[in-house]
Amino acid sequence: MSRIPAYLMSAMLVLPAASYAGASGEDEATLEQRRAGAREVTETLFNELSSELKAAMKEGGPKAAIRVCRDQAPAIKSRLSRETGWKISRVGTRVRNPLLGMPDGRESEILARFQRQLDEGADMQDLEYSGVEKAGDTRYFRYMRAIEVKAQCLGCHGPEDQQPAAIREQLEKEYPRDHAVGYQAGDLRGAFSVIQNMEHPYNEP
């Protein structure tokens, strides 16, 4: 997979929707394929991670679920990235692990847009973004899909004073720089993020 230089990530230029096809050299049908493929791979990530979390909660409760987010979530993302050749990640409005979940400048802007849309009455399930962006001489297709805080997430991500002592202790041990707390059910937790290098022909996931 072609990596995107970190210093370019914050300098990405967003191309207007009307210019996607002409600027990228791809027709709208191919861009729609990219959107559909990104939706599919984020759905796969969501379903696989949800399945692992449900199994862990059933077997060992929130403490087991913490290990899934620590170990299994990065492994699933890495596997899907290898399989597709895309940069696939989860980014948060608040970050538990700065090495894995920190949004870049553009992702932060889109998360802020999602929050404004929610404040205006939008449905979380409808919040997604796709667009062609430019970094240096290279064009990328970016897709993001909102992640909602569910009630079952609050044991690890809810207000600290409402977390069981054993869970708080484990989180402090595993994530000494944890800021991903204080959420309520229905809040915007973050987003799935997919970046495709448009210098390479599109291949279905």
The pLDDT tens digits for 33-81 are: 999 999 999 999 999 999 999 999 999 888 899 999 999 999 999 999 9
Residue 205 lies in a domain: no
Task: Report helix angle 73-84 to 28-67, nearest 10.
Answer: 160
> Which residues form the domain of 163?
20-197
* pTM of structure: 0.84
- Mapped onto helix, strand or coil, the DSSP state of residue 159 is coil
Whole-angstrom Cα distance, residue 54 to residue 103?
A: 26
Residue 202 lies in a domain: no
Residue 15 lies in a domain: no
Checking if the pLDDT of 3 tops 60, the result is: no
Tell me the H-state helices in 11-104.
20-24, 28-67, 73-84, 98-101
Q: What are phi and psi of 140, to 5 degrees?
A: -130, 150
Residue with tokens 């050299």: 25
Q: How many domains does the chain have?
A: 1
Residue 142 lies in a domain: yes
Residue 12 lies in a domain: no
pLDDT digits (tens, 9 = 90+) for 146-161: 999 999 899 999 999 9
pLDDT at 21: 42
Checking if the pLDDT of 1 tops 60, the result is: no
In the chain, the N- to C-terminal Cα span, in Å, equals 14
